Chains A and B, each alone.
Chain A
Amino acid sequence: MIFQLTEEQNLIRNMVREFAETEIAPTAKKRDEEERFDRPLMFDKLGELGLTGIVFPEEYGGAGADYISYAIAVEELSRVCASTGVTLSAHLSLCANPIYLFGSEEQKQKYLVPLAAGEKLGAFGLTEPSAGSDAGGTKTTALRDGDEWILNGTKIFITSGGDAETYVIFARTDKEAKKHNGISAFIIEKGAAGFSFGKKEEKLGIRSSPTMELVFENCRLPAANLLGKEGEGFKVAMKTLDGGRIGIASQAIGIAQGAFETAVDYAKERKQFDTPIGKFQGIQFQLADMFTQIEAARLLVYKAAYRASKGLNYSTDSAMAKLMASETAMKVTTQAVQVLGGYGYTREFPVERMMRDAKITEIYEGTSEIQRLVIGSALIK
């Protein structure tokens, strides 16, 4: 077992870090305040760097890198801006990846290639007002009508909704089938007749990443837009979320790392009682705990990413990684605010933003409770 990144992974980390610090970080605070998604910066530039297709083979416009490299990229972006991190994660894990895994060759050429190149932004629509953790509760319907499908329903909390061009959407195609069996996945493009956007959410964190409602009203889709087999949508969704968890876990690690570094720098500079507060054991112990927790979570994330790259089953691993990383992010960012004291509570320092951003990692792409369910049910099979 070698606990060392490859030269290539190091190069990727250095490149993304330099890019993130130079280009993304300077506007992170303002974008958060203005709840503004800056597409040219937060997505188009990622495409130019080859990050939008990082794990896909070159034949589909990807870079052919492994999942650890992907985890590193999301981590480094999220270290300065969690909104940019989730933009990449949702695009790659939730939209491009199911098309890569379940799409026909024609669908891959038509949809995956422009997604991997960063020419199109991807999104994923599973959650509904009555179906979140319980994907089987999907109410959106897709009825076959000759060579077409007619979609009706609403999807909520869709990351990059409105701005994305390509959507992977889940709808019930068989009302008679048992809960999970009657669902199918579809690829839908922005602009399709009957596909519109509802309200934009106002959120606690990741405010620079748009979250939108999707509305389907007699939206007609060619039969060719079915992704995977009819009735296998639940499988598509679950496989997709396995990968997505690596992305969100990496985002959580990045947020925690950013807050931790701010806390360390602050502890070295801030003096109380004529002593830098970092010299006090009370602060040192907090920093030690933060560092240890981040490292432990990071190893779980890299292990899940390693297994994904090797084609091994990583469902439980990615659930453990996401559970640990997101709860670590929440703990570490809260502690970072505490280390910075009053300053941590103000917008002068980024830790309050990071604390707000961290919370969502315990919720989306499977709440911590669902991760425990995934892990637990694998233990008692």
Chain B
Amino acid sequence: MNVLVCIKQVPDMESKFRVDAAGTWYDTTELAWRMNEYDEYAVEQAVRLKEQVKDADITVLSIGSDKVKETMKKALAMGCDRGAHIADDNVSGKEPCEIAGVIAEYAKEKNFDVIFTGMQSQDRGSGQVGVLVAEMLTLPAVTTIVDFVYSDGRIEVKRELEGGIKAKVAFTSPAVVTCQLGLNTPRYPTLPNIMKAKKKELLSIPIKDLLKVDARQHTDKVYFPEKKGGGLIIEGEPAELADKLIQILKEKTGVLA
């Protein structure tokens, strides 16, 4: 069985973000980087699938500068077998269709049985790459999965819908699935597996070899929303606070006459 997992390196979401000089993305200096959370579920599920079927080979793919290899190494240490690094120093300037085009170009003749991706990236959050890859490879795409069962070429997943409803969807491989929070708990890479990861194949392919799709959209501007009027903080002793609050409610609202 041949499995592909597509992952992205994103900043730690607790970082302090600043808009970059061009005003079209965030400033990437002085940020701590990690694997996109949803992609961790994708990697974990791929490794579990391999553990189930035994005879499987997992390729982890990521696009970006040499720095993304750090994140790919984690995926290798979690259990992926080989890495395909698509070298691109301007990945943040690519729109989802281009990213999907590159992945599809890489995957098109490799007969992957299942392609796992996160349901979206934590930074751009378009949620488009997985489904576009499926479309380009003419494969079924099933999104936001929270449960995955594979049996002899048949896949049964649960999808998360709005309002707490779930849907059960069945299909046959090959297919693309995008993974949502709740699918699994990603494992920690163990020390022996971290040590083994350095011996695994990690090939770099220049993006120009795979980028054959033109951009269809571009980001005009990235900005912080304007601050709305802040809340009102009143201070003092409880009795005093109650008086102040009553006064405000009387003056500014119709709650108290």
Contacts and interface: CB of A to CB of B under 8 A. Distances in A.
Q: Say whether A associates with B.
A: yes
Interface of A: 7-8, 10-12, 14-15, 18-19, 48-51, 54, 58, 63-65, 69
Given A7-B70, A7-B73, A15 B194 contact: yes
Nearest to A51: B191
A12 B188 contact: no
A101 B133 CA distance: 55
* Interface size class, chain B: 10 to 19
B190 interface: yes
B190 A49 contact: yes
Identify the interface centre among A48, A49, A65: most chain B CB within 10 Å of its CB: A49
A14 B197 CA distance: 15
Contacts of A15: 74, 77, 188-189, 191, 194
B70 A63 contact: no
A48 B77 CA distance: 14
A65 B191 contact: yes
Contact of B192 (A18, A19, A50): A50
25 contacts: A7-B69, A7-B70, A8-B194, A8-B195, A8-B197, A8-B198, A11-B77, A11-B194, A12-B191, A12-B194, A15-B77, A15-B191, A15-B194, A19-B188, A48-B190, A49-B188, A50-B191, A50-B192, A50-B193, A54-B191, A63-B190, A63-B191, A63-B192, A63-B195, A64-B195
A137 to B, nearest CB: 38
A11 B188 contact: no
Nearest to A61: B192
A64 B193 CA distance: 11
Identify the interface centre among A8, A11, A51, A69: most chain B CB within 10 Å of its CB: A11
A266 to B, nearest CB: 16
Say what secondary structure dominates the interface of chain B: helix
Contacts of B73: 7, 11
Interface of B: 34, 69-70, 73-74, 77, 188-195, 197-198
B194 to A, nearest CB: 5
A65 B189 CA distance: 14
Contact of A50 (B74, B190, B197, B198): B190
A74 to B, nearest CB: 13
Of all A-B residue pairs in the complex, the 8 with the closest CB atoms, nearest first, are A50-B191, A63-B191, A50-B190, A63-B192, A50-B192, A11-B194, A49-B190, A19-B188
A63 B197 CA distance: 12
Identify the interface centre among A14, A18, A54, A64: most chain B CB within 10 Å of its CB: A14
Nearest to A55: B191
Say what secondary structure dominates the interface of chain A: helix
Nearest to A63: B191
Contacts of A18: 188
A58 B188 CA distance: 19
Contacts of A19: 188
A53 B70 CA distance: 24
B100 to A, nearest CB: 28
Identify the interface centre among A8, A58, A64: most chain B CB within 10 Å of its CB: A8
B195 A65 contact: yes
Given A12-B194, A19-B188, A64-B192, 5 more contacts: A15-B189, A50-B194, A58-B192, A63-B190, A69-B191
A51 B74 CA distance: 17
Nearest to A52: B191
Contacts of A63: 190-192, 194-195
A51 B189 CA distance: 11
A50 B194 CA distance: 10
Contacts of A8: 194-195, 197-198
A19 B193 CA distance: 15
A18 B188 CA distance: 8
Contacts of B77: 11, 15
Contacts of A48: 190
B107 to A, nearest CB: 26
A191 to B, nearest CB: 29
A48 B190 CA distance: 7
A217 to B, nearest CB: 40
A51 B198 CA distance: 18
Identify the interface centre among B189, B193, B197: most chain A CB within 10 Å of its CB: B189
A49 B198 contact: no
A274 B95 CA distance: 44
A304 B49 CA distance: 43
B190 to A, nearest CB: 4
Contacts of A64: 192, 195
B192 A14 contact: no
Nearest to A53: B191
A8 B74 CA distance: 9
Contacts of B188: 15, 18-19, 49
B141 to A, nearest CB: 30
A11 B190 contact: no
Contacts of A49: 188, 190-191
